Amino acid sequence: MRKIVAGLFISLDGVVESPEKWHFPYFNDEMGQSVGALMESSDAMLLGRQTYLEFAAHWPNQDPATDPLADIMNNKPKYVATTTLETADWQNTTLLKGDLADELDALRRQPGKDIGITGSATLVTSLLRDDLLDELHMLVHPIVIGSGKRLFDSAYGQIPLKLTTSKTFSTGVLDLTYERA
| pLDDT tens, residue by residue, 13-36 | 999 999 999 999 999 999 999 999
pLDDT, position 146:
93
Backbone angles phi, psi at 100, to 5 degrees: -60, -40
pLDDT, position 156:
67
- Contact predicate 166/175, CB 8 Å: yes
Kindly state the average pLDDT of the residues 162-176.
98
Mean pLDDT, all residues of the chain: 93
- 181 pLDDT band (50/70/90 cuts)? confident
| pLDDT tens, residue by residue, 64-79 | 899 988 999 999 999 9
pLDDT, position 159:
86
pLDDT surpasses 70 at 140: yes
Percent of the chain with pLDDT over 90: 83
Model pTM above 0.85 = yes
